[in-house]
Structure 1
Amino acid sequence: MIQVYEYDENFILTNPVPIEPDEDGEYVIPENCTTVQPPSFVKPMFHPAEKIWTEAATQEEKKALEKQIESGRVPSPVDELKAQNAAITVQLAESQSLAELEAKMIANLYLMLAEGGKGE
């Protein structure tokens, strides 16, 4: 699994998106996404031609957000990223657990075949 970063029609970051490989093990990245991780901007804006992010928030937007964070009305962008990272970590752990279970099942099937197809 990889993480890509989705942006809207104005190239403003909307969310990080985990992408699973297809049946060939390839990652198909949607058109409105990039693998380039945005810095910790208030309002990241992607520039596809240069493959860079810039800050799109105005000074007024930044000050308004700072006031909301100070008053406790909204979580900080870092807190939001921490929560998203925790959710992705859980998804990764679940995927790894399933992969291990599948590997054990396959090993048991090979063992059954080696023993002449007789189950326990």
Structure 2
Amino acid sequence: MILIYPYREDGFYAGQPVELFPDAETGKYNIPTNATDKPPEKNGSGMWRPWYDREKQEWIEKADQKYKDSLKGPADPPSPVDQLKAQSAATMVQLAEAQNLIESQAKMIADLLLMLAEGGEA
């Protein structure tokens, strides 16, 4: 018994290997014209969307990045811990901005007070 890998009329893998037993009289395997005994792999790795090239007698990867992305499910929503981390980071940014504003206002007030002490001339 061997495994064969059927492909559709358009050349794309049909999806499941099939067991093939030798002919009882001849002992030879009669592989159908729409199948091969080569697994749909490239360099020992599986393929996303294998297509069989009958001339070259090899499997070709036909999946582009858009196709691969379409197979991915929606992203998991962030966990409560991740949400708190994001809120904490946003709060830290706001705090740093507020501190910068306070420092610039304090410098401005100090400059104004110095100007008034010197007689009000700029």
Using the size of structure 2 for normalisation, the TM-score is 0.52
Q: Tell me the SS of whatever aligns to 1:13.
A: coil
- Which is further off, 30-39 or 58-67? 58-67
Q: What code does the residue aligned with 2:39 have? A: Q
1-side partners of 2:73 and 2:67: how far apart? 10
Give the aligned length: 70
The percent of aligned pairs where both chains have the same amino acid is: 33
2-side partners of 1:66 and 1:41: how far apart? 15
Q: What code does the residue aligned with 1:20 have? A: F
Question: What residue number does 1:38 align with?
Answer: 40
* 1:50 to 2:51 alignment: no
Q: Tell me the SS of whatever aligns to 2:48.
A: coil
Q: What code does the residue aligned with 1:65 have? A: L
Q: Tell me the SS of whatever aligns to 2:3.
A: strand
Structure 1: gaps (5+ residues):
72-120
2-side partners of 1:5 and 1:50: how far apart? 16
Q: What code does the residue aligned with 1:13 have? A: Y
Structure 2: gaps (5+ residues):
77-122
Q: Tell me the SS of whatever aligns to 1:54.
A: strand
2-side partners of 1:48 and 1:3: how far apart? 18
Q: State the superposition RMSD in angstroms.
A: 1.8
**Which structure has the highest helix share of the two?**
1
Query: Which of these two proteins has the greater Rg computed from alpha carbons?
Result: 2
Q: Tell me the SS of whatever aligns to 2:73.
A: helix
Moved over 3 A (4+): none
Write the mapping of 1:1-120 to structure 2, written as runs, cut at 5 A: 1-14=1-14, 15-24=16-25, 25-39=27-41, 40-67=46-73
Per-residue deviation, residues 64-100 of structure 1 (Å, max 9, x unmatched): 21327x77xxxxxxxxxxxxxxxxxxxxxxxxxxxxx
Q: Tell me the SS of whatever aligns to 1:60.
A: helix
Using the size of structure 1 for normalisation, the TM-score is 0.53
Q: Tell me the SS of whatever aligns to 2:72.
A: helix
